[in-house]
Amino acid sequence: MKRLFLFVFVCLGSLILAFEEIDALFFQARSERNPQKMLQIIQTLESRSDLNQSSELLTILADCYLEYGDWGVAKEQKEKTLEQARKYAEAALKLNSENGRANYIAGAAIGRLAQYKGIIQSLFMLGDFDKYINKAISLLNENDEKERLYKTFALIASGMRYRDVPWPLYDYKKSEQLLFEAASLTPNYSNIYLELGYLYVKTNNKQKAKEMFQKVIEMEPHPLLVQTHFNAVKTAQEELEKLK
């Protein structure tokens, strides 16, 4: 598989990949959390002459930057990388405002960027976050495998938003509801239960928190999110130790 990936990029000077092909390469790079592969996709997409005419290609590029900003760059580069994710997602939405995946990416980028802002500025960003994430949830089709995954991501993001905002804006019941809705769509995605564990820690329900973290540890990885799962297992183990 690794040789195939490298072969494709060696040939890119004379080969223009279709949306589906480059999206498959993105999913592989994300599953492995491979920064080199992700950067290769970014460079390839940014060199394409048809990039700014394609909402789909802009969406993949935005998704690359979102992931790359999360785990592929040094701490001091994260904010700049996430700004690129937002920029390309919003460019994709200018071409097609009904692009559910791009709506999710725009909202997720804003949510992650809020971590680098002061409390007041981050609260002002909530309106844009809610706008994009709620639209993603309404647009994404749970009967399509990839769209169902992105709808799951959007529900998790919304659940985290209602869990983590300061008083009096939080709503722990709504957070739990959204995270369980995500679990109903993609029950084999361990990060949902990790976030539920954090919710129960915050609400002082130690037993439920333990159950969620233990569930993460015992699960098999989602086939499209393998390295994400192993990172979640490590985190869940650390959280269980704190609860002893």
CATH classification of the domain holding 216: 1.25.40.10
pTM for the full predicted model: 0.93
- Let me know whether 114 and 219 are in one domain: no
14 occurs within a structural domain: no
CATH number at residue 90: 1.25.40
Question: At residue 142, what are phi and psi to the nearest 5 degrees?
Answer: -70, -10
Summarize pLDDT for 97-138 with one digit per residue, the tens. 999 999 999 999 999 999 898 888 888 999 999 999 999 999
State the residue for tokens 């990029």. 9
Establish if 224 belongs to a structural domain: yes
Q: For residue 2, is it within any domain?
A: no
User: Same structural domain for residues 33 and 122?
Assistant: yes
In this structure, is residue 178 part of a structural domain?
Answer: yes
> Are residues 57 and 104 both part of a single domain?
yes
In a domain, 3, yes or no: no
| Domain assignment present for 90 | yes
Instruction: Answer yes or no: is 9 within a domain.
Output: no
Among candidate residues 118, 137, 156, the one where a domain is terminated: 137
Examine the fold and report which residue of 137, 165, 199 is the final residue of a domain before the chain moves on: 137
Query: Which residue range forms the structural domain that includes residue 62?
Result: 20-137
Instruction: Write out the DSSP string of the chain.
Output: -HHHHHHHHHGGGT----HHHHHHHHHHHHHHT-HHHHHHHHHHHHT-TTGGG-HHHHHHHHHHHHHHHHHTS-GGGHHHHHHHHHHHHHHHHHH-TT-HHHHHHHHHHHHHHGGGS-HHHHHHTHHHHHHHHHHHHHHS-TTSHHHHHHHHHHHHHHHHHHHHSPTTS--HHHHHHHHHHHHHH-TT-HHHHHHHHHHHHHTT-HHHHHHHHHHHHHSPPPTT-HHHHHHHHHHHHHHHHHT-
The residue from 117, 137, 157 where one domain ends is: 137
- Write out pLDDT tens, residues 62-81: 999 999 999 999 999 999 99
Q: Name residue, tokens 């060199």.
A: 47
Domain total of the chain:
2
Single out the residue of 185, 228, 233 nearest to residue 212, CA to CA. 233
- Closest of 132, 138, 164 to residue 151, by C-alpha: 138
pLDDT tens, the chain, 244 aa long: 445 544 454 444 435 789 999 999 999 999 999 999 999 999 999 999 999 999 999 999 999 999 999 999 999 999 999 999 999 999 999 999 999 999 999 999 999 999 898 888 888 999 999 999 999 999 999 999 999 999 999 999 999 999 999 988 999 999 999 999 999 999 999 999 999 999 999 999 999 999 999 999 999 999 999 999 999 999 999 999 999 8
**Closest to 213 (Cα-Cα) out of 187, 188, 239, 231:** 239
